[in-house]
Structure 1
Amino acid sequence: MAKGEGADHRFGLNNREAWWEDPPRGQRGGGPDKVRWPIFSIAFTLPYLIPVTKRLLAADQVTPGLIGLWALVYGYALSYALFPLAFDRARPVRFAYGVGMLTLGLTLVGAANANPFVLLYGTAAMVFLVPPAWVVILDGAAVVLAAVIMLLAGRFGNDYGDLITVSSVTLAMFFMSSLIRAIRRLEQANAEIATLAVTNERQRVARDLHDLLGHSLTTITVKAGLARRVLESSGDIPRAVEEIREVESLTRSALSDVRATVSEYREVSLSAELVGARAALRAAEIDADLPHAVDNVRPEFQNTFGYVLREAVTNVLRHSGAKQVEVRLGENWLEIEDDGSATEVVPGNGLRGLRERLDAVGGTLRPSARPGGGLLVRAEIPLPEPRAAATAVRTEPAGGLA
């Protein structure tokens, strides 16, 4: 069985284990309605009960054998009317109930010379009570035994058509029950898929909002603090106003990004993130050594590396206490190093979200503590394998070999 495949994900009868195991309770269902089915079953059993009842009433005298035959006939009909009660029972109970019905049907065929069509009630009940493999074994054995009984009684030639009808109807009901089970499995799987889709969407929005608002609010806090310090220390109103204008711009940008994130239309630009990182680090009075261009990074990796850079810079501003930050870029990797006070890597929502983004593209995130304090975060995405060069084909002159 393939990895991740379990009993809850088998559809149809193309899996060997599905032939022998009961489906989960939610996929098996409760069977026919336990209140309405006994009423409907009367219509199904009347074609069998009416002629047998007439035959019993026409008897000359009431004997113990006749009473036993009455009990057998109506007990068989009653067991068919009540077989849905066995659906929710343990597997041994369902097996015993189904085998009991087949035994009653075979007894009627043999002891009462009943038409073999009566066996259909037992085979039909068995189809819905036990796993498919046992249906084939037990119902098949019942049909064979009925044929043997009819041969020994010398009436096989007259009634073999009814036995074929029993086999055909039982086979049709067997495939119908398999279809019902497969539909229930599909319904359950669709419900699980819908739940997973909602969960994944919630995780995406939570991750994007964390990355977006964490960085934007941190930068806004740093710039607002800088404007306050400027006003308190030197009273440089023009510079404070400039910082407040940038705070206003960041707030509007963050609001726009939140709307785009919710609708899943937001894209991150690595070059734009470098500009934002430079402004945020400058406002926090952190010396930043950042690349001036991103041309050496593969275009398909820039979106992911933009998220990495945003989260790493946010962590520096929030937690590191660093005085210097260096960012290095390569074709398929990105490194952010700071000289903060961190001595160990503490997992958090930011690192977990970045790992999820990199896992989605087959990349890795390796944060590590520097010996002298601070963190080094390296994100790397494997390069695609180069395509094999086309085999050179040597051509000959039109005249062939000289």
Structure 2
Amino acid sequence: MPRRNRFGILFAAVWMIFLGGPLIEGWNLRDELRGWAGILATLTFSALYLYTFARVQQRRLTLSGEPTVRRAVLTLAGLTALAAVIIVSVGPTGLATAPYLAVTAVTMLPTVAGGILTLAIAASVEIVSVSAGWGNYSGLSLGVCAAAFATWGVMSLIRRNIAMVHEREEQELRAVMEERARMARDLHDILGHSLTVITVKAELANRLLDVDVERARSELDDLERLSRDALADVRSAVDGFRTISLPVEIARAREALRAAGIEDHSPNSTEMVPRHLRELFAWTVREGVTNVVRHSAATQCTITIDEKSVEIVDDGISGENTTIGNGLTGLRERAAAAGARLTINSAAHQGFSLQVHEQENT
């Protein structure tokens, strides 16, 4: 048992001193059967109360939520039956069980049900004491309500703390999932583009070995540089500091298209693009050109950029290029986060168009 739980039970056990009255009265009546019945019922009542307290506290410590209604009803029924035996056996001192019944009700039941049952217990104390001619027990009835109210305050605080813990755990889980999604998206975009260009250049270098050794060596040098750049990009993405440059991506796009034997038409300047769209447009160029090189079998590719949009158009076969994979899904998410929209247009044997444009504020 955890140390905090043991201390909690010891704290609850201290309050069992108020059940000393029924025990003493039962001992005074030990020559009669009802005296031993009162003692046994009081001890059983105490044990069940402490067990219930320990169970509720354990659920609180483990954030397991509230006890079930069925368990609460069975527990309260057992305690009520034992309280009735105690009262019948030892007389008015048995009414000391009433506050424990109220505390258990508030602890295990919803607020409204616990409050109603507390009032019923307080009323029962008055009815039983008056009916049996035991005198005025209004002080005990007030004690029942006070104990229940104090317990309700503590339980409300506990429930709020549990709710806050659950909310914090959900926020942490969402943060973890968002970070995983970001890393997966960045790694896909980075490696997809870099590996595609590396593959194309490796094929080109292999073809040039028997034709133009110097150019083949130049392509191999580019392969080494690209692989180092890709490794650095992956490390940056993992560290969460990944940023890309639009002019750099256009230069890389030209290089990738040239290596794939695709004629490129791309802008010489990107100064007109506002700062908040530059990174999004850079990712768009990277993803769009990667798809052109990988899927389109195109002979020409045109990159058009203005202050509100970027478009990549090729004259290849659009069939496989229209598939919405992880790259386009990630790009769509980036566009939505930046207040832009991704549009894909394609027709068989008429090329493929990928456009990201800023949406107008309404």
SS of match in other structure, 2:240: coil
Task: Report the AA paired with residue 143 of structure 2.
Answer: T
Q: Which residue of 1 aligns with 2:162?
A: 184
CA distance in 2, matches of 1:59, 1:210: 83
8 Å CA contact 2:344, 2:354 repeated in 1: yes
* Percent identity of paired positions between Structure 1 and Structure 2: 30
Kindly state the Cα deviation for residue 288 of structure 1 after the two structures are TM-superposed: 1.1
Matches within 5 A, 1:289-308: 289-308=265-284
Q: Which residue of 2 aligns with 1:79?
A: 48
Task: Report the AA paired with residue 145 of structure 1.
Answer: S
Matches within 5 A, 1:288-327: 288-327=264-303
Q: Which residue of 2 aligns with 1:101?
A: 79
Q: Which residue of 2 aligns with 1:204?
A: 182
Q: Which residue of 2 aligns with 1:56?
A: 26
**Alignment RMSD (CA, Å):** 3.2
Q: Which residue of 2 aligns with 1:170?
A: 148
Structure with higher RCO (Cα < 8 A, 6+ apart): 1
Q: Which residue of 2 aligns with 1:274?
A: 250
Q: Which residue of 2 aligns with 1:353?
A: 330
SS of match in other structure, 2:210: helix
Normalised to the residue count of structure 2, the TM-score between the two structures is 0.83
Kindly state the Cα deviation for residue 382 of structure 1 after the two structures are TM-superposed: 1.6
Matched pairs, number = 349
Deviation per CA, 1:186-206: give whole Å up to 9, x if none.
333333333332222222122
Asked whether 1:120 is paired with 2:99, we answer: yes
- Runs of 5+ in structure 2 lacking a partner? 60-66
SS of match in other structure, 1:125: helix
8 Å CA contact 1:215, 1:311 repeated in 2: yes
8 Å CA contact 1:335, 1:379 repeated in 2: yes
Task: Report the AA paired with residue 204 of structure 2.
Answer: L
Deviation per CA, 1:341-393: give whole Å up to 9, x if none.
222621211112112212222332222322434321122232445xxxxxxxx
CA distance in 2, matches of 1:109, 1:66: 11
SS of match in other structure, 2:250: helix
8 Å CA contact 1:106, 1:142 repeated in 2: no
Matches within 5 A, 1:360-379: 360-379=337-356
SS of match in other structure, 2:93: coil
CA distance in 1, matches of 2:40, 2:317: 90
CA distance in 2, matches of 1:72, 1:100: 11
8 Å CA contact 2:22, 2:94 repeated in 1: no
Q: Which residue of 2 aligns with 1:217?
A: 195
SS of match in other structure, 1:53: helix
CA distance in 2, matches of 1:180, 1:60: 43
SS of match in other structure, 1:232: coil
CA distance in 2, matches of 1:101, 1:300: 67
CA distance in 2, matches of 1:254, 1:68: 82
